[in-house]
Structure 1
């Protein structure tokens, strides 16, 4: 046990430690005014200071009329002991750096009209360069010239980036609260139906009285997953057309989901309503107000969906409501269906994240390409290489299928482009359907401690922690279902086995064989042997 604790502590320390990043900051001042701009550098060159206070001050010399592919025509006295800014092009970064170093410059900035990439060279070239080297946007340099009319003093530094950003914790909190609330809501609805003694009729697939849809057929589950695969492939090939269809559907679905969430909250706090009739049509004042508010929120998101600074708040609110209502509306009839659905979606997630890069032209997985959009190059990384647009990019349409929380640390990253932690809706909804089934089963067996629900929520939390830990350790995005599905399915099965209720848990409840009172399947504390011979 002691060794396990030590390993956990060391892992937490490692995850919370600081790491260098490829983006840096160019601090420009003239004594009275100061501005900061994005730069991109490489750790293999001379390392930059980690803070503004420890960074060295250099006078800046404007040589943007030069490419510095050779030192001819440049007086050493002009650049000696100063930082030099030249234009990108015609020769390697290492040659520019060696020429600047030979002339006596103390730092080299390369202004670029192209996408900023991590400056690289042959391994043998790195050791020859002893001065700091970084790329900056040419438009930033032009802006600096307008702001600073006199001599510019510059500092180059790269603040270390915390591996465990606060946005990750916020995302974890959003995920666990959403699945817990969705599961609790589903269980509360089931208890209400049991208490009211309502019949749903048929085979339990369609419940018109509650607007729910129950999945009870393995064939339908397989068809559902195949449809999802087909939709993802279509989105990959016809993204620029279908993205607007998905945005429109999301606006309608999320507004509807937000209405049901607000309505349920008002019911819980006992908020009354006023009703009136117009030509035999009954209306509720509360419903009209709620519908108006929800529609306005969805419309605002739809209009300003590409505004990164604040629209993520509305997208997360609408996304949480969408996930909650989906978990409440879609019910899995038994554990067998849960196993089939979650296992198939696990394979689906792993295949489209890890396998499809071998078949795509750009080597990016279909899942990532669809989630980020084909033009979201500013958010894509390949190994230790980063890409930062040299000029403002037109807004790119992205699918509203993820929760987004901006990184709270990393000043350099936010200067170079706003960075987000993301979590797909599927990583909340799919395990949430199992949690909802566990919550309903607690109602059926009259579990006072909600043992299935609470244990499955705990397993989901542990699975999310492992997902984030692997992501931080590997530096790569992970298919969360790869960890969430085993954690939740195995935990639920173990609980059912330990309580002697595995057969009931596996087969669930068939509404058509229950009596009119729809009493719980097994009272708390009873086993199948206690009810042998009981008739439905």
Structure 2
């Protein structure tokens, strides 16, 4: 169990936001039309933002050449036309200058490689005056098959609002998950404090709980996470399948735990059936079948972006909830150490590693997007040259499609994403705050409420900075200070910081959480006993 959790947690701190400048190539022959993906540089090419304002051009096929030189073509022979050539051999600016010499009004470069935003040097950008864009070579072949050589093209880039409704849904989903995870952890602690005895055949609520109580173990835990992330960077092609299998098992188990808790809360009968000397629960059997089925369906259809995100988010919410309930931090000191180390971890692997990796790649972003997706340190996303190819991605993020990104969906379906780590890590502190409310018998749950609000504000700030900077942000950079400082301030104002820092009134022997001193010595109900 511990090893499985370590592998999962080692890769859940992966979150990024993608930004790419994409446009639409509208191809028609008078009676038929079809749209294809384009990638362009908005600072280099001025493209209309609507089809009605886009200028139509006759398309000339020059894919038999890379157009680094005129190659026998006469000056102004392509006057006012759009021309498509092959990518390679020379710089984009050189191709554009030759196209301009021939009189072309638009340059399309067909690519058999993954496509990023076309970049030219400063000198070249001053000389290039025609729109320049990349398109998939397979798209051009498809257009030829549909329209033959009678093609008229228009280029336009629909405006995409900076604030997409998907971000609001992501915000609500994250706050719901963290709030419910913290609430469940506190409820389980209250049940344990009350001495509730599980009925026959029912597992103890804390039977699988793991507690982090030693600073040295926390440090070792983070070091192992760093090692796992580096291994994922170098051996992604193989380890991604290991993570996928573990996620299927862990999410199915977590979903069962969540659904079983809901059934218990609403008073649903277990429907025990006896068979000789043994008995089995029909409810448990049914839940097991449902959870395994959902995990298997996700595993089989994990690359079907159009709808599988719903199932991934469902399994992800269950995984995060169960994690926050199962993993407990024994005191605020451990919370500070763990969250601070993970903040450094997040910032280092996002912002510092590009200085040490080839081509300035961020290890965190590269692993989060997957090498096949071509993640870059600057937040740019490479569009695959083959639209039918699916690349394996780590199942460690919540994903919600961007509703306004209609044009971008031609290139690749766009998502607002948030890593599980940005829910789980602050969520562990929220869970600790709720358990502390239980320990001090605080009916208003002041610590739990204030930490949840701090998490919500921190997440809003994260999204706001992302939208303003147009770059993916390490969310822990904002969530950790907001939650830690708020919790500490509440404890200081209530003059309970010493107790809040020390946490439980007993020292933990090991992960089984056997106490040396019972709760009775701290004023809790119970008989005082000596060890």
The TM-score bracket by the shorter chain reads 0.7 to 0.9
Give how far 1:148 is off.
1.6
| Matched residue count | 496
Deviations 1:431-486 (A, max 9, x none): 11110111111122222221111100010011111222222333332222121111
Alignment of 1:67-216 (within 5 A): 67-71=66-70, 73-74=72-73, 79-149=78-148, 151-196=150-195, 210-216=207-213
Deviations 1:27-48 (A, max 9, x none): 0112221110011222343401
The structure 1 residue matched to 2:293, chosen from 283, 293, 296, is 296
RMSD over aligned Cα, in angstroms? Answer: 2.8
- From the superposition, tell whether residues 520 and 459 of structure 1 become closer, same or farther in structure 2 (CA, over 3 Å): farther
Distance between the aligned counterparts of 1:291 and 1:355, measured in 2? 44
Which residue of 2 is the match for residue 462 of structure 1?
457
Q: In 1, are the aligned partners of 2:387 and 2:411 still within 8 Å (CA)?
A: no
* Structure possessing the higher relative contact order (Cα contacts under 8 Å, 6 or more residues apart): 2
Deviations 1:109-135 (A, max 9, x none): 222323333333332333434332222
Which residue of 1 is the match for residue 512 of structure 2?
none
Give how far 1:518 is off.
9.2
Q: In 1, are the aligned partners of 2:373 and 2:382 still within 8 Å (CA)?
A: no
Q: Does 1:332 align with 2:332?
A: no
Distance between the aligned counterparts of 1:209 and 1:114, measured in 2? 52
Which residue of 1 is the match for residue 11 of structure 2?
none
Distance between the aligned counterparts of 1:248 and 1:137, measured in 2? 33
Which residue of 2 is the match for residue 307 of structure 1?
304
Structure 1 unaligned spans of 5+: 1-19, 200-206, 522-533
TM superposition score normalised by structure 2: 0.86
Q: Does 1:448 align with 2:443?
A: yes
Moved more, 400-409 or 456-465: 400-409
Distance between the aligned counterparts of 1:37 and 1:288, measured in 2? 49
Distance between the aligned counterparts of 2:207 and 2:127, measured in 1? 72
- DSSP 3-state at the match of 2:472: coil
- From the superposition, tell whether residues 79 and 460 of structure 1 become closer, same or farther in structure 2 (CA, over 3 Å): same
Give how far 1:520 is off.
5.1
- DSSP 3-state at the match of 1:116: coil
Which residue of 1 is the match for residue 395 of structure 2?
400
- From the superposition, tell whether residues 303 and 197 of structure 1 become closer, same or farther in structure 2 (CA, over 3 Å): closer
Which residue of 2 is the match for residue 237 of structure 1?
234
Q: In 1, are the aligned partners of 2:373 and 2:383 still within 8 Å (CA)?
A: no
Which residue of 2 is the match for residue 514 of structure 1?
518
Give how far 1:318 is off.
0.8
Distance between the aligned counterparts of 2:326 and 2:333, measured in 1? 19
- From the superposition, tell whether residues 421 and 442 of structure 1 become closer, same or farther in structure 2 (CA, over 3 Å): same
Structure 2 unaligned spans of 5+: 1-18, 199-203, 507-514
The structure 1 residue matched to 2:278, chosen from 244, 260, 281, is 281
Which residue of 1 is the match for residue 9 of structure 2?
none
Distance between the aligned counterparts of 1:253 and 1:287, measured in 2? 17
TM superposition score normalised by structure 1: 0.85
